[in-house]
Structures are given as C-alpha cells and as structure tokens.
Structure 1
Amino acid sequence: MSPPGTPPDHASGPPSLSTPSAASGWRGTLPLLAWRATASLAAPLLPFWLSRRARRGKEDPDRLRERRGEGAERPPGPLLWLHGASVGESQSALPLIEALAAARPALRFLVTTGTVTAARLLAERLPPALAGRVQHRFVPLDVPAHVARFLDGWRPDAAVFIESEIWPNLILATAERGVPMALVNARLSARSAQGWARMPSVARRLFGAFRLVIAQTEADAERLRALGAERAEAWGNLKFAAHPLPAPEQALAGLKAAIGTRPVLLAASTHPGEEVQVAQAHARLSGDLPGLLTILAPRHPERGAALARELAGHALALRSSGALPGPDTALYIADTLGELGLFYRVAGAALIGGSLVPHGGQNPLEAARLGCPILLGPHTGNFTAIVERMLAAGAALRVADSGALAEAALLVLTEADRARSMTTAAARIAADAGALPERLATAIETLLPASPPLGGGVGVEPA
C-alpha cells in the first residue's frame, strides 16, 4: 500500500469510519489535486502504454476498453464490487464471495483485477454455482474520466478493496457517489506508512474514506489508525482461509503415474537464488534417497527456460514443454501457472519459496491444506504470525541453508510418523482460519441495502 453525502457510523456491530463528503474529497489537498491533474493530462498517452503491455502479455488486447472504464453490464438488483489487484488478492476473495452469496441470495458481484493472470485464475477457480452471479472486469486506470465512466456504468451498492489498492481518483470518486467502502485484509508496511505520514492530509482523505477497515495484523491496524482509519481492527489474514488449491484429476493421475514410488521434494513458489540451493540439497540427498525427484516450481513461471540453463548440469525436464518426469529426471521444472495444487499432492515435503532468500516467504498454508509437510527457510517475514504458530506446534521445520534443507528433507521423507505429526498439526492451524470469511461477510453486509432496492436508489436498473 504505497502513496501515489457522509454516511453515518453504525451504532453497533463491526468497526466503521465516517466517509468524507464530496466537497472534502479533493479540496485543500494539493497533492491529490496534482495527481488528478497529472492523470488527466497523461490520459492521451495511456493507450500507447496499454498497447505495449498487451504486446508483452501484460494486458488482454481484446479488453483494453475496460481499462478506460467501458463495458459496463450492470445486472439488476444489489451489486457488490470487490477489487483485488492481482492473483493473491483475487483468490483470497473467493471464500468471502461464497460466504456473502450464501447470506444474500439476490446479491450480484463485480470483481475487478489489474492483471491478466488474476482474471484467468478467477475464471478457472470460481465455483460453478456462482458463475452466473459474478462478473469480472479489469479495473479502470486511475484517470478521472475513466473512473467516472466505470462508476456511472456499474453503480455499485458497496465496494470492497482487498489488501493495499489505494488509487486516489478511484477511492475519492467512489466516496463522492455515496458508495460505502470497506478495506479488508489490509496490510501496510512500516516503510509505506512512513511515506504516507509525509502527506498526512492525503492519508486522512483516503484512509478516512473507508467505512470499514479490517487489517491482517495489529501492527497493520495500528499504522492505519495513525493515518486516518481511526477504528481499524485486526481480524487476521483472509488468505489463510482460502480453499485448497485445485488439481485436475486427469493431470494428477498422469503426474502420479510418471513419478511412481519415487520420493519427491517440492520447492514451491521459488525466487531467484533459491533453485540453486535446492539443487545442491538434491545432490546431497541423492545418495541417501535413490530415485529422488525434486520439483522446482518458480513463483514466476516465465523463468523456466533461464532455470534450465542455470541448472544444465542436472538431468531435468520442463513441464512447459509438455514433458512429464522420466525415470532419470532429477529436477523437474514446473514452469506453468496455477498448478501448485498438483505438486503439493505428490510431494513428500515442500520448501516454501521466498524463504531461503530475503523475500519474506510465500503462504505456507497452501501446503498445510493439502497435507504436505512444510520446510521453511530463515526469511518468513511476510507470514510471521502463522509461521510462529506452525513452528511452536511442530507443524513445520526451519532450515537455514541448502545443507539444513537436505537434512530436514531426509528426516521428513524417511520418517512417516514425523511427517504425519507435522501435517496433522498444520491442518489444525489451517482450519482455525476458516471462519474469517463468514465474519467479514457479516461486517460487509452492513454496507449493503437491507433488501434489493425497489427503485430510484443507487445501483437500481430503471424499470
């Protein structure tokens, strides 16, 4: 979360904030006015920028008009708009959408994202029962005219922003239309908070625009309160409540058949510098574990070809080429998107990527939900609270380097009782996070009309 009329507070229930009036949104805040003017002046150049991104696969060339706020197809009845920038945010919204859909059968959903990958995975993982109630659009660029076109077309009854998407024109234009807004699963690093603190009036306008602010941790909530979200609370991380990652039956059967009875070590969502260390651990282990297969699943699959060159001294295969691991394959580079659910299901132990290098670690609960024993490097600052619980409960093992990784992997892959105790403890921790979507849904419901509007209100289709 980095810097770039007034609805009443609820007398009881979830924490809430007063939203600013339309007049207070921009007036007297020079940086906001400057951003608004700069975005408007830049608008004529943005189509060229979008076209360039489309050529690089960063935008859908057939849907660029959505980035200008076009293409609204508002359904009748109450509409909730949820925005999550990328894959993690949009995927964490799925359990929340399911909880809200169950509580409000007439409610429809508009989900916006900023990346092509997030759009694709949302379509793939949206439960079939909800497909008719959920529409996806790419979020408009933060240009006043684009934002106005988007809001005028969709007319949401309430809006939910997930994690750290703070776009001034989008936020304030939504508030000016009287649309109640929530910021959920909010996170704000100390560094970002310092940046916002240098613009206190801007921070108050933007963070004070949200009626409901729910942070991941108490530290996040404290920083948000200092910046204007005066009643922000910490309820936990919505990503901890996600469903188990999927695995198509046919693909899983094919992978299992190719692997057979070989022991499998997975390095999941790895970052540069980790794969070499994992390959070194594999070399150490191969004498004690004949037939060991190590699967490398880079966080950014486009790195697959470069990894193949970097690890050329090993017998390897690339999944992106259509290859399955053969009997002699030592390293299997899983350079495809959205298939981690497959690899967790076939692995006997998994190193959670981003933790052997100073990145902060990826989500360990993805492995926990699929019964895969968890190994963690020393850098897990992105998931401090959950990692501390796991280590204390014996649900994960900490490793410092490739040598320690080899020792821990050998332990877990050869001692079934130890692996079983780890996965049991991890499953309990994962289950504890399961109630958060329902709790958030109850809070968000207070922002919506009590019943579908009967005419003339915000978000109502004309008769």
Structure 2
Amino acid sequence: MPRLAPAFGLLFGTLYTLLWCLVGPFAFLSARMRQGWKQRLGIGAPAPCEIWIQGASAGECALVAGLLEHLRGVPILATTCTSQGLEVLGRLDSPDLQTRMLPLDLPLLMGRMLDRARPRVVVLLETEIWPGLLMACASRGLPVVVVNARMTAKSLAGYLFLGPLLRRWAPRCIGAMAPADAQRFGLIFGAQCTTVTGNIKFDRAMSTPLMTRDDNPLAKLIPPERNFIVLGSVREQEEALVLELIRQLRADDAQCVIGLFPRHMHRIPAWQGLLSLSGIPFALRGTLDGQAQPGSVVLWDKFGEMNPAYALARRAFVGGSLARLGGQNFLEPLAQGVLSCVGPHTRNFDWVGDEIFGSLVFKSESIPEIARFLLTPAPPRSEVREAALNYVRARQGATAASIELIRPYLHRSPHA
C-alpha cells in the first residue's frame, strides 16, 4: 500500500486539475471573479521575490502590514483572492512589496508562478489550504509556512477526508492562533509541524491612532449634534435582522444617523431595494457631498472608510454575528474608543477571549436590546481605548513569533 501512495497522489493531482478545467470557466460568470481575470489565469510575470505571501481577502491581507515591519529589505510578493484584499495590499507603503491576484489553483498555473517569482518560502495566512499550490511547492522542494493559522471544527470536517493526501504536501511548519487550531491542523498535516504562536491581529488591533473629529475626513458628512450609529460589516444572511435593527433605532431616536456598511459591495443594490421598500430615507455615501439628513441611513458604497466612521460613532454594531457566520472584527471600533455590540455568533473571534464580553463588547440576540445599547450615552473615547489597549497588550507578540518561523528560509536577514 505505501508503494501506491505516490501513484495515488499523482492520480489526485490529475483529477484535481481536470476538475478545475471543468469548473474554472464557470467561475468567471461571477463579477467578482472577473476582477483581475488576467492575473487569475497566470498572465503576466511577477518580479523575483524571496517570500510569497497569500491572504484570502481584506482581513488576512491586513496582517501583511505587521509582517512587513519585520521584513524590511526582503523582496515580497503578496497575493489575494479578492479586489478588497488587493486594495488593502495596495495601501501598504513598501518598496519591497509587489501585489497580484492569486492564480486559479491549478498545479500548472501555480507552478508557473513559482518558477517566475522564484521565492525561497511561501507563507500562507490563516486557513489558506490550496492543494494545487501545495502540490506545486512540494514538487519543487519549496518550503511552505502557515502563520496565524486558524481552523473551525466545520472546516476541519471538510479537510479530514483529504488528510492522507494533504499530509504528503504538508507545510514545513504551522504557527497556530490557539491550541485548538494547532490540534485541528495537526489532525490534517501531523502534530509535529504545528506550534502555537498566538494571533497577529492582537499586534495590529490597536495600531491605528485615536482619530479626532478635526482630523476625520468624514466629519463634514455627519451632523455633530446627532447620534451617529455605525452598523459595520453586515453580511447578506443577516440583512433582514439588521433592517429590523434600523427600524428599531429610528423608532427610539427619529433623528439619529445610521452608517450602514455591507461586508460585500455587491450587496449595495440589494440594500437600496430593502431601504426603499421599507420607506427608510437613505443616501449613498458616494453621492453625499454635505451633511447626512437626520433620521436617514448613509449606505456606504466606498471601501476603506469604516475606521474613520467608527471614530465619529456614538457606538457600533459589528455584523456577521446575527446569523451563524462567525462574526466580524469587533476590535476595530474599540481602537477608536467606541464600545461595540455583536450578535450571538462570534466563533471567528473566539481567540479574543470571553473576558471581553460584558466589559468592552456587548453580546445579545435581541434586536431591542442591541438598539438600546447603541443609543446609550457613550463613555469618553480615551477611557474605552485605554481599557482595550490594556486587554490587547497582554496578548501580543504573535508577529515576532511568526517571523521566527519564516526566518530560517530567507537568504538574507530582514531588518526588523
């Protein structure tokens, strides 16, 4: 049976390639996939690099900034799967960084990318398990390192049936966020290559300075005398509940201004329809050239402005948490001294710890309770930020630990 393993691996690689050839063309029916389609097909050669870093979308790509601080002078190629991720990478000011869309996970395309970029190590962020990329790296003897690795029990169930095959192309080492993540990755790739390094997000969580109204680029849009409530990173599956929350907020305070941030921009037209059918006045952020009307919703159709919006808010709701989606980043408003609330589903942020709920973050499944929290007078921002800083500082250090996993594979020593 062991002698059949290489042949079985080759068979899987062939079937995996055929599957991509069959379904790949249909992927481009999606408007999101058509963005950057040339790079997704591997067209255009990247410049040579020492490290190739892959992050799925905006959240993972935000972690690249912390790694860059420890890797100055090292040429890096960073790839992502979404236009939002590419925007995040594009805002990183580094002469050592080049950015691209990740090619489709065909072993042939991944191999061509590796041959052109010639990295010494491939770094995957969080849960980026791409069989085609792993196969291409293994065939070239190229080390793969996973940092900030996380995996839910649901994801584990999906990967376990491929465990024997994936272990043939296992990363050289895996730095997990928490012991539970290390255990799950160990079940797939083997416990010998996993270690717990903590979460890089703690190192970046409070890195943005407290923004004053005078310095805020959105200040002219929000009336200072009105309650401004931000509903951030709202996901499609919870839209009906968030619409109910908007109605409740307006019923309790008819003059409040609500900033609504869909997690995905393609949901903007759907929200326009929902608000119109509900008779709720709204304006698109892109068309707003003066102060928002009291009692209206500002529907944010411009990417990258959620943090300055949090800085103007009384309080904030963070989405992905009213449906079983795992929740979005509720530390972001805390960095601006804004207390936040979430729904009951926050498994994506179990790494933050339960101690934060009740003190800095309010969790509830009740829409009226969430609305009351959001309209409650806010404590001073400086006090909230300091309490959050104290919480985060005690849990930092994962970036440096992750760099130590990468460092042995570099040709030159990075300037930290």
Report if TM-score (shorter chain) is over 0.5.
yes
- Please give the residue correspondences for 1:251-400 in structure 2 after superposition, counting only pairs within 5 Å: 252-256=216-220, 258-271=222-235, 272-286=239-253, 291-312=255-276, 313-322=279-288, 324-391=290-357, 394-400=359-365
Distance 1:216 1:68 in 2: 32
TM-score by length of 1: 0.78
Distance 2:211 2:383 in 1: 24
TM-score by length of 2: 0.87
Report the 3-state secondary structure (helix = DSSP H, G, I; strand = E; otherwise coil) of the residue aligned with 1:100: coil
CA 1:336/1:278 → structure 2, altered by over 3 Å: closer, same or farther? farther
Cα displacement string for residues 4-38 of structure 1 (whole angstroms, at most 9, x for unaligned residues): xxxxxxxxxxxxxxxxxxxx9x9616664344213
Distance 2:335 2:312 in 1: 14
Counterpart contact for 1:281–1:405, Cα < 8 Å: no
Cα displacement string for residues 187-209 of structure 1 (whole angstroms, at most 9, x for unaligned residues): 22212323333344113223xx2
CA 1:297/1:324 → structure 2, altered by over 3 Å: closer, same or farther? farther
CA 1:83/1:308 → structure 2, altered by over 3 Å: closer, same or farther? same
Partner of 2:50: 79
Counterpart contact for 1:395–1:424, Cα < 8 Å: no
Unaligned runs of 5+ in 2: none
Instruction: State yes or no: 1:408 paired with 2:373.
Output: yes
Cα displacement string for residues 41-93 of structure 1 (whole angstroms, at most 9, x for unaligned residues): 4666677446544xx243335x51x3343422434xx6111111222111222
CA 1:224/1:379 → structure 2, altered by over 3 Å: closer, same or farther? same
CA 1:363/1:31 → structure 2, altered by over 3 Å: closer, same or farther? farther
Corresponding letter in the other structure for 1:60: Q
Counterpart contact for 1:303–1:335, Cα < 8 Å: no
Report the 3-state secondary structure (helix = DSSP H, G, I; strand = E; otherwise coil) of the residue aligned with 2:191: coil
The number of equivalent residue pairs is 405
Deviates more, 1:41-50 or 1:400-409: 41-50
Give the superposition deviation at 1:219: 0.8
Q: Percent identity between the aligned chains?
A: 28
Partner of 1:203: 166
Corresponding letter in the other structure for 1:404: E
Counterpart contact for 1:112–1:137, Cα < 8 Å: yes
Unaligned runs of 5+ in 1: 1-23, 453-463
Counterpart contact for 2:337–2:383, Cα < 8 Å: no
Partner of 2:13: 36
Cα displacement string for residues 309-338 of structure 1 (whole angstroms, at most 9, x for unaligned residues): 222322222214345543334222223222
2:33 to 32, 40, 58: 58
Counterpart contact for 1:377–1:399, Cα < 8 Å: yes
Distance 2:290 2:179 in 1: 45
Counterpart contact for 2:222–2:228, Cα < 8 Å: no
Instruction: State yes or no: 1:148 paired with 2:123.
Output: no
Distance 2:46 2:245 in 1: 48
Counterpart contact for 1:265–1:348, Cα < 8 Å: yes
1:222 to 171, 183, 194: 183
Distance 2:252 2:133 in 1: 53
Distance 2:210 2:109 in 1: 36
2:124 to 161, 169, 172: 161
Counterpart contact for 2:131–2:166, Cα < 8 Å: no
Distance 1:268 1:133 in 2: 32
